Structure formats: structure tokens, C-alpha cells
Chain A
Amino acid sequence: MQRLDRIGAIVCLVIAGIALWQSMKVPMGNIRQPGPGFLPFWVGVILALLSAVLWFQAGVRKPGVEPVRFLSGEGKWPYVVAAGVGLLTYTFLLEPLGFIISTFFLLIFLFRVIGKQKWWVGVTGSILVTFFTHLIFKVALKVQLPRGLF
């Protein structure tokens, strides 16, 4: 927990740094006439201060109060990483391949690899789900889904 709090503090400090840097690029204005950089700058300052407080607090607090299982739940963390990578791949394939094809493969991946279903369950499920979501969203609700190849 202690170490994770410190990582969180550093990440937030970086965000605060970006905020300060970016807010300098636009007019700051003054307190009588605050410009677009005014509030981002001060929120950045506050965030930086809070990050520092969290960093020091993490050192003071008794460690081991709440052990956090980070990417460790029953050895399943590779699945989380795999799911993340799979979804990012999907975002890149959605437009070139179209909704139907890319969704079908994503679902097979999720059912079979992440959900550990049997092959036939995965394939049948993927076909049915792709078909029905296409029917509901594209045909019935007229949501624009990427056509891609067809």
C-alpha cells in the first residue's frame, strides 16, 4: 500500500506538471480578469501539493494495513493484460474490418481465451451475439456502426 501510494503520488505529480506546463502556454490573465490558464494553473499547484502530502503520508503510515493484491488475483493477471491488449487491437481493427468481422473475433477471444469457454460455446456465442447486436443497434436503433469490408 505504501509503495502504491507513492507511485500514485508520482503519477499525480506528473499530471500536475503537465497541467502547469500547458497552462503557461495560454494567457494566465490576472485575478481581476482570469484568463484560460488561470484555473488549470492553480488546480495544478494544488494537485502537486497534495501529491507531496500523499508521498510523505505514505512514509509515515503503518505499512501492511490493507495488503493490495495487484495484478495477482488467483494468478489471473495475464488475462487482464490480454484483455486490455485485445481491446486495443479491436479499436485499431474496427474501422478497417468493420463491426461484424472485428466484433466476431473479439467475442471469440473474450469467450474462449479470457472466459475459458469450450470452442463450440465460444463460436456459437460469438455468432449469436454479433448477429443480435447488429440487429438491435444497427437495424432497430439505427446506430451507425463501422461498415468496413461489408
Chain B
Amino acid sequence: MGYWDSIILGFSVCLQPMNLFYCFIGVFIGTLIGVLPGVGPVATISMLLPATFKMSPVGAIIMLAGIYYGAMYGGSTTSILVNIPGETASVVTCLDGYQMARKGRAGPALGIAAFASFIAGTFSVVALTFVAPPLATIALRFGPPEYFSLLVLGLTLLIFLAHGSMIKALMMACVGLLMSFIGLDNISGYERFTYGIATLEDGLGLVPVAVGVFGLGEVLSNIEESVGKRAIFRAKISNLLPNRQDWKDSAMPIARGSVMGFILGILPGGGHVLASFASYAMEKRFSKQPERFGHGAIEGVAGPEAANNAGAGGQFIPLLTLGIPASPVMALMLGALVIFGLQPGALLMSRNPDLFWGVIVSMYLGNMMLLVLNLPLIGLWVHVLRVPYPFLFPLIVLFCLIGAYSINNNIFDVFIMVLFGIIGYLMKKVRFEAAPMLLGMVLGLMMEDALRQSLIMSGGSFQIFMTRPISAGFILAALILLAIPAIRGGKKLLVAKLTENE
């Protein structure tokens, strides 16, 4: 099937009224949770996953995907107006976005964020359309060693990205791996870490853990820090359209951010957060007046916003072509696909072209809907921001509880969720990051299978990972990442800058 036939098939799928509706609901919820600090796409998708069981698979995936990239748009609004990142990917948008708002340029800041998101989002979908099929062909040649090395690279990348200590991130990844081993062993059928608890035989559910750590844990720390008293930018927002000079300043950052975001998005463990940080650093380096950064430079909004949206699109590639979830969000997508009886990976495109192309094309339409939602309707989201936290958090807690319960109709999952909420709160306090733990948990079993199969293939020699060229490339990249303290120095500088601005 040629590209055009595929795209036409995609349009025919997603222009069905129900799928259009799901797409709209997805991007709407995505923007909403993006705007609200403390609820991210991971928690939201986990909570809504059970609600999609009654939908068609295509509709469900379209909606869940919409939530994810919609959140990338919404997050910037909060960063610009409140100086609190609505999402982790919008952390850098605070730096210059909020400064622009303080100088009375909230309108152009919001405008360029939305346009940059739209351009990059569309770019990444176009790239996805053309890159995914050839990658899927290459992916068919991947054996266990290649999978293992790629997963190692993914985990390393995430550890490398950790905000604080790399050792702590490594430790969390190990804990996550151990968590994934809970339950029956895939190959031998032995029970591991179950302590005779029947529910644990199926393993620790990703949804209760993710909702607990990212949903409830966040609420608990917000209760303590009384986010209710945040200072919302009160001035009237006018002139959403950036002027000619703004466009001139932003054009190249958007282009660079889109390309880099997409490439980083493809790598497991990279994704939209890394993309936005890297883009900010890059724009500062390229700029003729780097001293303007941090004082309301529009490039500092345009580049990272483009990068995080392109990264979000890129993330679908490892999932759709290799069946590897590059991030917790993608792991939930994978969970959804599996629930619907679909096997993500190289064969998805040929076996379920309607789903594959329907979802991709829905992202074109979703990006257009988001542009409308985020520019003319910006006032609506500003109102949402003004809802006081004491009204908001009981709702978030309730959605967490319902989400955890309804995944299996099992009260034990609710207990796990509450437990991990408390653990997540404590981890936040002692600065142990949750993301490596969750990714470790997601990738653990896949890594174990790949490692065991590789070792059986090689008769117990670890050389197999270095003698196969693709695998060796991944391992080498992982080693380089672990060994470059110079880049970490640069990153530290950025983090220091961030805390300084807070």
C-alpha cells in the first residue's frame, strides 16, 4: 500500500463522526489536564483507560493519543501565566514565557507557544507518516540482542536526564526493574515476589502504580505546599498573534526544535522532556544575544514548545514499529492496545492498517483542533486556572480512585494505588525521581526476556551484544551517555538557572 492510499485510509477512518468526537474529547481533556498543574498525561490516561474498554479500539487509541499531545499544548499556558509548569515538558517555558507575560507580552507568548506547538506537532506527524513504515521493516530484523541493547539505551537515557543525582536515578530504575519481576515468570512459570498474595500473581499493575505516584503523590505534596495560593497573572491578555519581528525571531527555533524534538522523541527514554530542555540550551547557544534568555526572549518559548510537541509525536515510533514503549505514557498506550487484542510492533502496520493510519491521521486533525482550542478559547483555560486547589484536589483524588479500581474491579489495586501515592510523596520529598522507576517497571520483563534469550542464543557470552552491529551501536551510545560529565555540567547550569528563576 502506497503512502497516499494509507493516508486516505487514515482519513476515512478518522473522519467518521464517532472518531472525530473521540479525537476532540481527547485533545480537550489533554489541554485541560495540561493547564492544571499536578495532573499529567500519565495519571489521566491511567484513570481513563478503563473507561475506553467499551469503545472501539481505534476510537480509544485516538482519544488517548489526543490526551497526550493535547497536554503538551496546555502545559505551556500555565507556565506562561502562572510560572508553574503545567507539565514537566513545560518547565523551560516558564523561564522566558513568564518573563514575557510580566512585560505585558502574555498574548504573543501564548500565541507563539500555540503556533510552535502546531507547526512542530504537524511536522512530527508528517515525519511519523514517512519514517514509521521503513523503520517497521528494519524492526523486523531485530532479534533479542538488539531489543535488549535498545532497552538499555532507553533506560540509560532517562537516568542521564534525571534532574538530581544520577546514582539515585539508577537506583530507582533498579527498583522499577525489580517491581516488574513481581508475578509469574513468563518463561518458567515460577512465582516471584508474590508472598502468596493471589492478586500479585499477575504482577503489579502499571495503572495503580502510575496513578499513585503521578496522581495521588502529586496531590499529597500539593496539599502540603498549599498550591491554592498561586499568583495568577491578572492582566488582560490581548494580541495573541505574534508580530512580524516575533515570527522572524521564532522561525528558526521552531524549525530546529521540531527536528531535534522528533529525533529525541524516537529514542526510548528521551521524549518530550529531554527535547524541550535540549532545545532551550541549543537556542541559547545559537542566539546572538544569549543574555536575553531568561528575560523574556521569544526564542526561549518557541524552540522548547516546538521540541516537546515534536517529541510527543516521535514517541509513537518505537511503540508502533518495535512495540517498545518509550515512556510511561506509551506503556499505557501499549497496555490499551494489548487489552484490545492488538500486538504493537512491526506487524501492526500491516495487520491493522486502519488503526495504524487512523491514529496517525487523527493527530493531524487533533493538532488543528488544538490550535483552535488554545488560541481563540484561551480565556476558558485562564478561568480553569483560577479554580482554587481546595475545590480541585478532591476531584483528582476521586478520579485516581475510580481509575485504579475499574481497571480490574479489584479493591487490591486501589490499595496499591494509595500505597504508591504515599511512596510517591515520600520519594518527591527525598528527591528520588519516579520516572526511571516507572520506566524500569515498564521495560523490566521485556528486558529480561530479551536478555535471557540472547544469552541462550550465545551460549552464555555477553559478546553477542557487541558483535551484532545494531546492538553494539546502542550499547556504545549508552556508554557514552554514562560517561559524559561535560554535558551534565551544561545541564546542571540549566537546572541552577531554573531554580534561580523560581
**Residues of A that sit less than 8 Å from B by CB:** 1, 4-5, 7-8, 12, 15-16, 18-19, 22-23, 26-27, 30-40, 43-44, 46-47, 50-51, 53-54, 57, 66, 68, 70-71, 73-74, 76-77, 79-80, 83-84, 87-88, 90-91, 94-95, 103, 106-107, 110-111, 114-117, 125, 129, 133, 137, 141-146
Per the bound structure, the CA–CA distance linking A15 and B174 in Å amounts to 10
CB pair B422–A38 under 8 Å, yes or no, is: no
Let me know if B295 is at the binding interface, CB within 8 A. Answer: no
Question: Are A35 and B224 CB-contacts (below 8 A) given A30-B460, A110-B397?
Answer: no
CB pair B394–A115 under 8 Å, yes or no, is: yes
Chain B residues, CB < 8 A from A137:
51, 402, 406
A-B CB pair tally, cutoff 8 Å:
187
CB pair B168–A54 under 8 Å, yes or no, is: yes
Instruction: Name the distance in Å between A107's Cβ and chain B's nearest Cβ.
Output: 5
User: What would be 11 A-B contacts, judged by CB atoms less than 8 Å apart?
Assistant: A8-B430, A12-B175, A35-B188, A39-B451, A73-B226, A74-B224, A87-B418, A107-B394, A114-B394, A115-B391, A125-B391
CB pair A47–B175 under 8 Å, yes or no, is: yes
Instruction: Name the distance in Å between B135's Cβ and chain A's nearest Cβ.
Output: 28
CB pair A71–B188 under 8 Å, yes or no, is: no
Instruction: Name the distance in Å between B366's Cβ and chain A's nearest Cβ.
Output: 22
Interface residues of B in 387-430 (CB under 8 A from A): 389-391, 393-395, 397-398, 401-402, 405-406, 409, 411, 414-415, 418, 421-422, 425, 429-430
Instruction: Name the distance in Å between B214's Cβ and chain A's nearest Cβ.
Output: 16
Let me know if B66 is at the binding interface, CB within 8 A. Answer: no
Chain A residues, CB < 8 A from B51:
137, 141, 143
Contact with A along B181-208 (1 / 0, CB 8 A): 1000101101111000000000000000
Chain A interface, DSSP helix/strand/loop, else mixed: helix
Let me know if B50 is at the binding interface, CB within 8 A. Answer: yes
B394 touches which of A12, A80, A125 (Cβ 8 Å): A125
CB pair A145–B405 under 8 Å, yes or no, is: yes
Let me know if B225 is at the binding interface, CB within 8 A. Answer: yes
Let me know if B452 is at the binding interface, CB within 8 A. Answer: yes
Instruction: Name the distance in Å between A148's Cβ and chain B's nearest Cβ.
Output: 11
CB pair A19–B398 under 8 Å, yes or no, is: no
B393 touches which of A31, A110, A146 (Cβ 8 Å): A110
Question: Are A107 and B398 CB-contacts (below 8 A) given A39-B181, A54-B171, A74-B226?
Answer: yes
Chain B residues, CB < 8 A from A68:
429-431
Let me know if B246 is at the binding interface, CB within 8 A. Answer: no
CB pair A117–B390 under 8 Å, yes or no, is: yes
CB pair A36–B185 under 8 Å, yes or no, is: yes
CB pair A73–B225 under 8 Å, yes or no, is: yes
Per the bound structure, the CA–CA distance linking A50 and B174 in Å amounts to 10
Per the bound structure, the CA–CA distance linking A53 and B167 in Å amounts to 8
Per the bound structure, the CA–CA distance linking A146 and B401 in Å amounts to 12
**Residues of B that sit less than 8 Å from A by CB:** 50-51, 54, 165, 167-168, 170-171, 174-175, 177-178, 181, 185, 187-188, 190-193, 216, 219-221, 223-226, 389-391, 393-395, 397-398, 401-402, 405-406, 409, 411, 414-415, 418, 421-422, 425, 429-432, 447-448, 451-452, 455-456, 459-460
Per the bound structure, the CA–CA distance linking A43 and B181 in Å amounts to 11
Per the bound structure, the CA–CA distance linking A77 and B422 in Å amounts to 13
A47 touches which of B178, B221, B402, B411 (Cβ 8 Å): B178
CB pair B192–A22 under 8 Å, yes or no, is: yes
Chain B residues, CB < 8 A from A111:
390-391, 394
Chain A residues, CB < 8 A from B447:
39
CB pair B411–A91 under 8 Å, yes or no, is: yes
Chain B residues, CB < 8 A from A1:
431
CB pair A91–B414 under 8 Å, yes or no, is: yes
CB pair A27–B190 under 8 Å, yes or no, is: yes
Per the bound structure, the CA–CA distance linking A103 and B400 in Å amounts to 12
For B184, give the chain A residue with the smallest CB separation: A36
Chain B residues, CB < 8 A from A54:
165, 167-168, 171
CB pair A76–B223 under 8 Å, yes or no, is: yes
Question: Are A5 and B430 CB-contacts (below 8 A) given A31-B455, A107-B398?
Answer: yes
Question: Are A80 and B192 CB-contacts (below 8 A) given A36-B185, A43-B178?
Answer: no
CB pair B398–A133 under 8 Å, yes or no, is: yes
Per the bound structure, the CA–CA distance linking A80 and B225 in Å amounts to 10
CB pair B418–A91 under 8 Å, yes or no, is: yes
Besides the contacts A80-B224, A125-B391, what 15 more A-B pairs have beta carbons closer than 8 Å? A5-B430, A15-B178, A50-B167, A74-B225, A76-B223, A76-B224, A110-B397, A115-B394, A125-B394, A129-B398, A137-B51, A141-B51, A141-B54, A142-B54, A146-B411
Chain B residues, CB < 8 A from A115:
389-391, 393-394
For B445, give the chain A residue with the smallest CB separation: A39
CB pair B171–A83 under 8 Å, yes or no, is: no
Chain B residues, CB < 8 A from A4:
429-431
